[in-house]
Amino acid sequence: MIELRTPTQIEQMRPAGRFVASVISALAEKADVGVNLLELDELAHRMIKDAGAESCYIDYHPSFGAMPFGKVLCTSVNDAVLHGLPFDYTLQDGDLLSVDFAAAVDGWVADSALSVVVGTPRQEDLWLIDVAQRALDAGIDAARAGNRLGDISHAIGSVARGEGLSVNLQFGGHGVGRTMHGDPHVANDGQPGRGLKLRPGLVIAIEPWFLHSTDEIRFDPDGWTIRSADGSRGAHVEHTVAITDGDPLVLTARA
């Protein structure tokens, strides 16, 4: 079911957006050569506790998960791009790391992700992150009352296809509110002028993710971590966005 939020409710979602943004920023600063993925998860866990927030991940168990997630943060490294389950891995020079984090504050959820290169970057990784960020910006710009859901998807996909990337449609953005995942699904490619008409009060997570040389994926045995089928690297970015009477409101904007 698609739910629209009142202006008052959107204001009530701002603290969750600010908190998620602060955690994502802290994780990006902490990520470095020699840092263990479990240290990043512990940092996020500690910030949740200190803020009196609630994790959206730790007990999350959708049909595709082999078990409840059990951690508070997704950490996807190199050829992993989505839903990476933190494990005992120490970041190496040149690793491409994507972090995805969602939490609830006072019952309202926000969700965000970014990708960074640890240590010495590969230019192709910086390029992929830049494409994903430009696709996110384009999707956000299309998130305006009167447009259609397909306009957001088309804006994202146009950036990717313009750079020669193929787009996987199995996982994408989603509605956000009292829970982390709700309607509508926001695909990362689509036809303009098609689909749900966007109205003020709709709050969605817009999340482009792309792989260097494929749109095919495979799951790790943990049932969570999603990797490219050909071993190529991936980048993932995301913001929680509210549609208003004017410009889109990025609730998870980072300072």
> Which CATH number covers residue 219?
3.90.230.10
Q: Does residue 64 have a pLDDT over 80? A: no
Cβ neighbour number for residue 218 with a 10 Å cutoff: 12
214's tokens: 């494929």
Distance CA 27, CA 98 (A): 10
Task: Judge whether 73 lies within some domain.
Answer: yes
Counted domains in the chain: 1
pTM of the model: 0.97
Per-residue model confidence as pLDDT tens digits over 161-188: 999 999 999 999 999 999 999 999 999 9
Task: Judge whether 2 lies within some domain.
Answer: no
Per-residue model confidence as pLDDT tens digits over 104-122: 999 999 999 999 999 999 9
Task: Judge whether 255 lies within some domain.
Answer: no
User: What sign has the CA pseudo-torsion 48, 49, 52, 58?
Assistant: positive
Letter string b/e over residues 7-29, b meaning 16 or more CB atoms within 10 A of that residue's CB? eebbeebbbbbbbbbebbebbee
Task: Judge whether 87 lies within some domain.
Answer: yes
53's tokens: 């927030």
Domain extent for 192: 7-250
Task: Judge whether 1 lies within some domain.
Answer: no
Task: Judge whether 153 lies within some domain.
Answer: yes
Distance CA 92, CA 177 (A): 36
Task: Judge whether 109 lies within some domain.
Answer: yes
> Could you tell me if 37 and 65 are in contact, meaning their C-beta atoms sit under 8 angstroms apart?
no
- Sorting pLDDT into bands at 50, 70 and 90, what band is 82? very high
Q: Does residue 66 have a pLDDT over 80? A: no
